[in-house]
Amino acid sequence: PAEEVVVYDYFGDSAAIGTQVLSGTEVLKQLETSDSIWVTFEAPIQAVCQTKGCWMEVQLDSATTALVRFKDYGFFVPMDASGEVATVAGSVKKEVLSVEWLQEQARDANESDSAVAAITKPEVRLTVMASGVALVQKPAASTESKGHGEAAAEGEGHDHE
């Protein structure tokens, strides 16, 4: 039988995605000795901005997630990408996230008003400023893809800076 070829959908700069792809655990290990690293890594997506796909949360290991944002808001990921494994190229570092950002993120993830109101302190989190993201292409039978552009247009003015 012919070897199955994996086809990716690229978001952002596909050339940024390196050939050496680390696991989430390897990323965490490199961060033990460095404040900021530029890497390509693979990790499962836990959540995606439900307003227009302008951030995602990835699981680096069983206890650690990282917030992935996209360089210059130049690209977005599909809002239904949760559960897929993303290949991400970008700069990873620890960052203090403001109460405002954390509340906005909770709203984007459709959290309840009480969950949003419970966010009262900034958090130190791992963040990724991604230049490129690759997701394994879904089978062509999908008709969902045409809706993504419309959703993005509705979310205009949706900004996390």
- Residues shown for the chain: 161
Q: Tens digits of per-residue pLDDT, 114-143?
A: 999 999 999 999 999 999 999 999 876 544
Question: What is the reported pTM?
Answer: 0.83
pLDDT score at 25: 96
On the question of pLDDT at 102 being above 70, the answer is: yes
Contact 132, 12 (CB under 8 A): yes
The whole-number average pLDDT for the span 32-59 is 95
Q: How far apart are CA 105 and CA 56, in angstroms?
A: 10
On the question of pLDDT at 153 being above 60, the answer is: no
pLDDT score at 4: 76
Q: Tens digits of per-residue pLDDT, 55-101?
A: 999 999 999 999 999 999 999 999 999 999 999 999 999 999 999 99
On the question of pLDDT at 157 being above 90, the answer is: no
Number of H helices, E strands in the chain: 4, 7
pLDDT score at 139: 74
Contact 90, 130 (CB under 8 A): yes
On the question of pLDDT at 1 being above 90, the answer is: no
The whole-number average pLDDT for the span 7-26 is 94
Report which secondary-structure segment, H or E, holds 60: strand 55-61
Contact 37, 26 (CB under 8 A): no
158 pLDDT tier (thresholds 50, 70, 90): low
Q: How far apart are CA 22 and CA 140, in angstroms?
A: 28
Amino acid at 123: E
* CB atoms inside a 10 Å sphere around CB 141: 5
Mean pLDDT of the chain: 88
